[in-house]
Structure formats: C-alpha cells, structure tokens
C-alpha cells in the first residue's frame, strides 16, 4: 500500500483522524508521518494537553495563580502551562496546590509508590499493604505506642509468611 500523501513510498504508519465527527484514515510513509506528527504537535502539543487537564475542575482563581512565582528560578504557573515543564525542583513545592489535582488525574495518585517486580510472587496490593503497615509501625514506635507497633509487626509477619508460602 502506498502513502496517501506522497504516493511514492510504502505506507508503514496508519493514522485515524477524527475532526468534527468526521473520520479520516491515512496510510503514510515514515517521512510523511514525521511531517504530519510535527504538524499535529504544533496544533496540539503536550503543553496544551497538560494545560487542559490542569483546567479541569479548577477552583483556584487564575489571577491568584498568575501572581505566584518560584523564588528559586522565577518560573510561574503560566510558564508551566505553556511549556508542560517546571523550572526547578522547588517549583513542585511552590505550585503544590495546582499540581496535586493534576497529578491525581494523570496518575491516579499524588504519591509515587514505585514499581513492583513481578517475580516476587505477591500482588501489588499485598506489597502496598505491607508498606503501609511498616510505615504505621514506624509511626507507632515514634509515638511510643508499643502495643500498636507490636500488633502491626505481627500483621506484617503474617502477611510476609503468607506471601512466602504462595511462591
């Protein structure tokens, strides 16, 4: 099948565009696909996507957000919306109110819990529970609630023993 745009090369990319409820299917060679991709990026880039997601359910006044700037790099939230990138690591703290809902929508959570190796033989839910239990136990120890810490320790051991028996 030949490219629908140049008509000379073999089509290796198949693109479906939906514009105003009208479906258009294109078969493109690699060169024409790259040009089409650049064209699409100019019209609708990553920064536009992030800006659109950040506007969903916005409760913060745009004027108040525009006045806030990172003291370290001088980046504003509007700069983030334009580029889709933050200026420095301190921006995460400065723009926390605006970024938290955005991160929850994109990732499903505002906290990173890491990836879990599949070879362990435990389900991700079990590992998250173990992690939460360990954090709770540490907190109980710090608060000198030793009975609660012992109860959590026993629960952790029980889950770990159960996980080893399954593997």
Token digits of residue 66? 């525009």
* Separation CA 89–CA 87 (nearest Å): 7
Token digits of residue 88? 């420095």
* Separation CA 139–CA 149 (nearest Å): 8
Phi, psi (5° rounding) for residue 112?
-95, 125
Q: Consecutive 10-residue runs of the chain (167 residues): their mean pLDDT?
A: 89 78 83 74 50 49 68 88 84 86 73 60 60 87 89 87 60
Q: What is the pLDDT of residue 102?
A: 78
* Separation CA 51–CA 65 (nearest Å): 13
Q: What is the pLDDT of residue 33?
A: 82
Strands (E), the chain: 13-19, 22-28
Q: What is the pLDDT of residue 57?
A: 46
Helical axes 124-142 vs 146-166, angle rounded to 10°: 160
Q: Is the pTM of this model over 0.75?
A: no
Q: What is the pLDDT of residue 31?
A: 87
For residues 151, 111, 57 and 80, what is the CA-based torsion angle, rounded to 10 degrees? Answer: 160
Q: What is the pLDDT of residue 32?
A: 86
């Amino acid at each position: 099948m030949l490219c629908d745009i140049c008509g000379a090369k073999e089509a290796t990319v198949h693109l479906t565009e939906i514009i105003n409820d009208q479906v258009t299917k294109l078969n493109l060679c690699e060169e024409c696909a790259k040009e089409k991709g650049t064209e699409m990026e100019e019209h609708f880039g990553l920064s536009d996507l992030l800006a659109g997601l950040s506007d969903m359910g916005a409760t913060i006044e745009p004027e108040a957000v525009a006045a806030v700037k990172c003291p370290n790099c001088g980046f504003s939230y509007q700069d983030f919306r334009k580029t889709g990138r933050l200026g420095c690591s301190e921006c995460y703290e400065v723009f926390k109110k605006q970024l938290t809902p955005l991160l929850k929508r994109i990732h499903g959570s505002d906290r990173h819990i890491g990836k879990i190796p599949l070879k362990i033989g435990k389900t991700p839910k079990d590992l998250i529970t173990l992690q939460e239990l360990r954090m709770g136990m540490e907190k109980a120890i710090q608060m000198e609630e030793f009975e609660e810490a012992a109860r959590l320790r026993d629960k952790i051991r029980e889950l770990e023993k159960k996980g080893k028996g399954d593997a």
